[in-house]
With several copies, the nearest count.
Chain A
Amino acid sequence: MREITYVEALREAIRMAMEKDPSVFVIGEDIGVYGGAFGVTAGLIDQFGKDRIIDTPISEAGIAGACVGAALTGMRPIGEMQFSDFVVLAMEQLTLQAAKVRFMFGGKATVPMVMRLAGGSGTGAAAQHSESLEAWFVHVPGLKVVMPSSPAEAKGLLLASIYDDNPVLFFEHKLLYKTKGPVPEEWYTTPLGKSKVVREGKHLTVVATSIEVVRAQQAAEILSKEGIELEIIDPRTLRPLDMEPIVNSVMKTGKVLIVHEAVKMGGFGGEVAAQIAESRAFGYLDAPIRRLAGLDMPIPYNRNLEAHAVPQVENIVDEARNLVKGVY
């Protein structure tokens, strides 16, 4: 199969949806001739014009509100937060309006919108441009939270998100943008709310998200040579969360390591750990549930510190090996 980058896969999904459906449009900062800060929308303005690829002033609340209002009245907007951090300026529209309006109106309104957000560290952008904020939205009923880790899923999950009738927060990762992988050329959707077993193994279940799925796979390769086989599961959709494959895996391996880039304290991993501890897998656990996640700090500028602030391949290797060997 043809290989394309994560950025290209996202762009292809947007293009396909826009070609098929006049109700889809994109709105955000510098998404027109500039093509988006990370190039996702490059060239789309030439094809669809400035009324469907809408460059905005620097007004994040306005961007989010534009999506909510358009979604409420028959459109399927795709908004962009240039860096996911800036979503702090759009929280009201996303969490008090988009997420709640359907319920508040007795189920009589729909808000089919997607907000794409470029998240994560690793580019030296420092504390205000490198956060991983998905956990906030996992805590908000009415929203869906999607986090693709590969090009193929970037396309399939984005198309599914655009056609979902609920507001979807779609977290991309800056370091994934240039990663390549096989992506079918035709239209397809990857269902929301389905976890995926990315790699099968028997010694340890690893639940990872976004860039950490890629790192976990690299760690698995290394450990495989030592005879340790990781089973890697990528939830892909964090809300709703499909725990079934995770629980089944833990029942098989008896051990689990949860890995994400976001700060550990209060992060998504806590929810996964809690759901495992509440589940029928509890009795099968033969080691404590472990989380490997971002240090308790903002992302530093210095490249070396930055790399140390979030889980890298070698950290996953160490942690996984220890867990399997009973060192904890």
Chain B
Amino acid sequence: MVNSQAEGLIGGVFTREKALDLIDTMLLVRSFEENAEEMFSLGKVHGTMHLSIGQEGVAVGTASALRPRHDYLLNVHRGHGHFLAWGGDVNRMMAEFTGKETGYCRGRGGSMHIADVEANNLGAQGIVGGNMPISVGVGLSIKAHQTDQVALCIFGDGASNEGAFHESLNMASIWKLPVIYLCENNAYGMSMSIKKAINVPHISDRASAYGIPGVTVDGNDVVEVYKAMKLAEEYTRSGNGPYLVEAETYRWKGHSKSDKQAYRTRDEVKEWMSKEPIQRFAKVIGMGEEEVEQRRLTAREKIKKAVEFAESSPEPAVKDILEGVYA
């Protein structure tokens, strides 16, 4: 059990060291995304991307409660934050983002498909809800191998209206599969407000249709995310079956590269910006503005190095173009 009163622990759960690590990771994610946006606007990146600025709390809170590399990650299209929180190497990630041979996927996948299979990171998804049926198979596999792993399957609020959500949660439930379903509810599926897309207050309300636990948590509060995920993890890892966690958060930027955001107001965005996860966690751990900025610079430095790594990396060779289609 989570002991939320544990003495000396931040928020009752984190050592100071861990807390610093979390804040650094959030800053790294933020910097990655800011840089991504910039590269994009400079035309240095081809394709599209889905920025997670504003949602960093969900990524680091979640990964901190699980066992990255041991557990399985089934990531979402808006997955840069989760990738880094799962321990991904920022150089190879940047190289993938820019389509280089040194990237995680040799430049074949890009932002939407970045994966690190060796680290049990089964990749981001281009298909909304596409990782959910896959999670069923990963759950079956964990059971067959009798390990103590869990699978973390991440998706957005919009994905909860795909048929795949329904089939997968039902199968995971009847077979008590060790899968944690994390719904990152950032209020919109592209332009569709979740309030128009569903007729229940919370996506977690849908857990009852499968006889599994479902909770909603403030996704911008790292401590709360950690606690909720920890409960989910304990439940799931001990063989009780799947668990649905809905983390409420907000994306600051447009859905993808070209989004005029006519579907929401500036005020709404501003209001959510005031609930920013990094500053909020900084307060919890008593970190001053200045230190945050210092650490931000360190993060930016890492990103700069990553860009250098990526830019100095070779393009994939055209002669190898057919490699990797078949085993």
A–B touch (CB < 8 A): the answer is: yes
| A residues with CB within 8 A of B | 22-23, 25, 27, 29-30, 32-34, 37, 51, 54-62, 64-75, 77, 85-86, 89, 92-93, 96-97, 101-112, 123-129, 141-142, 164-166, 295-298, 300-306, 308-309
B132 at the interface (CB under 8 A from A): yes
**Residue ID in chain B nearest A144 by CB atoms:** B326
B158 at the interface (CB under 8 A from A): yes
Besides A57-B158, A69-B122, A77-B137, 10 new A-B residue pairs in contact (Cβ under 8 A), listed by A number: A29-B192, A55-B192, A57-B161, A70-B140, A70-B144, A89-B163, A96-B130, A108-B324, A128-B112, A129-B112
Residues A105 and B321 in contact, CB atoms below 8 Å apart = no
- By Cβ-Cβ distance, the 8 closest A-B pairs, closest first, are A65-B133, A69-B137, A124-B47, A107-B324, A301-B110, A128-B126, A106-B106, A124-B46
**Residue ID in chain B nearest A70 by CB atoms:** B137
Give the contacting residue for B137; candidates A67, A104, A107, A308; CB below 8 A: A67
Residues A92 and B110 in contact, CB atoms below 8 Å apart = no
7 CB < 8 A contacts A-B: A30-B191, A57-B161, A59-B163, A69-B137, A105-B117, A123-B48, A297-B325
Report whether over half of chain A's contact residues are helix, strand or loop; otherwise say mixed: loop
User: What mask results when residues 310 to 322 of chain B are scored 1 for a CB within 8 Å of chain A, else 0?
Assistant: 0000011010011
Residues A308 and B105 in contact, CB atoms below 8 Å apart = no
Residues B191 and A70 in contact, CB atoms below 8 Å apart = no
Nearest CB of B to A33, in Å: 5
Residues in A whose Cβ lies below 8 Å from that of B315: 302, 304
Residues B134 and A104 in contact, CB atoms below 8 Å apart = no
CA distance A34 to B327 in the complex (A): 35
Among B3-11, B164-172, B278-286, B289-297, the stretch that binds chain A is: B164-172
Residues in B whose Cβ lies below 8 Å from that of A166: 326-327
The interface centre, meaning the residue of A27, A93, A105, A304 with most chain B CB atoms within 10 A of its CB, is A105
CA distance A58 to B190 in the complex (A): 9
Residues A69 and B113 in contact, CB atoms below 8 Å apart = no
**Residue ID in chain B nearest A64 by CB atoms:** B133
Nearest CB of B to A92, in Å: 6
The interface centre, meaning the residue of A37, A59, A60, A142 with most chain B CB atoms within 10 A of its CB, is A59
CA distance A137 to B274 in the complex (A): 50
Residues B164 and A34 in contact, CB atoms below 8 Å apart = no
Nearest CB of A to B123, in Å: 6
Residues B325 and A142 in contact, CB atoms below 8 Å apart = yes
Residues A59 and B190 in contact, CB atoms below 8 Å apart = no
User: What mask results when residues 225 to 264 of chain B are scored 1 for a CB within 8 Å of chain A, else 0?
Assistant: 0000000000000000000000000000000000110110
Contacts of B102-137 to chain A: CB distance below 8 A: 103-110, 112-113, 115, 117-118, 122-123, 126-130, 132-137
B196 at the interface (CB under 8 A from A): yes
Residues in B whose Cβ lies below 8 Å from that of A306: 46
